[in-house]
Amino acid sequence: MRFFDAEMGVGRSGLGYAATETGAELLAVMDRYGIERALVYDRGSHESGVFDEFEFVLGFCRASARLEPAIPVVPPACGEQPGPDELVRLILERGVKAVRACPAAHHFRFDPFSMGRLLGPLEEHRIPVLYVSMHVRDHPWLHAPGWEDIRAVAAAFPELPLVVVYTGMLQGRRLLPVLEGCPNVRVDLTCASFQFVEHVVERFGSERLVLASHFPCEDPGLYTSWLNYANVSGEAREAMAHGNLERLVEGIR
């Protein structure tokens, strides 16, 4: 099994996480778990709330074609980043493969009112948006994504690829209606419990799940195991392990 990981943090962490500081170090971690490719973000910028400096993660990813950069986004009205058109131009020119919206960690609403001026251009170019529900530091199972905002964005921007990262435990009755009603929403495996993977594949198809290991906050083996041992077809397993995310990043136009 080969994996394409939607979330690996790199660089120095002020919270004690053992994030890798060079591409070679991260590739060694990836090889241990069979992770072939990864979307990589700057852990230090995430913790400190820096939204307009991307050179570290861009330079980090130049170490290997297996590493794909992802950068943060915040509401355009705050003026903490280049304007939407300029930011999207940078994304396309510099080979960024996804953006990360972290409303819990960075204290904003991820809704059409706050984010619409940016989400429109992102949708136009089919740039994947990772909605990360975790705070800067908390227990990964005890929080809940802002499902109402996610639903509103999915409805307002139906061609925008949305991936919910840190889906959270005990979220099934909130999550399953979103999968049913919002075909452009995909989710990670943080919420996985007994036969969750099988249930989603049977009802909604294997294209709705992706792998996010949450390294360095968690051990990637927690999530690769669900796909290694899920009672699904080999085709479905491959889609969830790498194919779905590959299609998203290759769909940028």
| Cα–chain center distance at 231 | 25
pLDDT for 174-231, tens place per residue? 999 999 999 999 999 888 777 889 999 999 999 999 999 999 998 999 889 989 998 9
| Cα–chain center distance at 205 | 19
Enter the pTM of the model: 0.95
DSSP-based three-state secondary structure for 104: helix
Q: Which domain holds residue 157?
A: 3-250
Q: Which two tokens stand for residue 45?
A: 């910028």
| Banded model confidence at residue 128, pLDDT cuts 50, 70, 90 | very high
| Banded model confidence at residue 140, pLDDT cuts 50, 70, 90 | low
How confident is the model at residue 75, as a pLDDT? Answer: 98
> Is the CB of residue 121 less than 8 Å from the CB of residue 115?
no
Q: Which residues contact 59 (CB under 8 A, 6 or more apart)?
A: none
Q: How many domains does the chain have?
A: 1
Residue owning tokens 């307009």: 52
pLDDT for 61-90, tens place per residue? 999 999 999 999 999 999 999 999 999 999
Query: What is the mean pLDDT of the segment spanning 109-128?
Result: 98
Strand positions, DSSP E, the chain: 3-10, 35-42, 67-73, 98-101, 129-132, 162-165, 185-187
Query: What is the mean pLDDT of the segment spanning 140-157?
Result: 90
| Banded model confidence at residue 51, pLDDT cuts 50, 70, 90 | very high
Q: Write the CATH number for 50.
A: 3.20.20.140
| Banded model confidence at residue 134, pLDDT cuts 50, 70, 90 | confident
Q: Does the pLDDT of residue 142 top 80, yes or no?
A: no
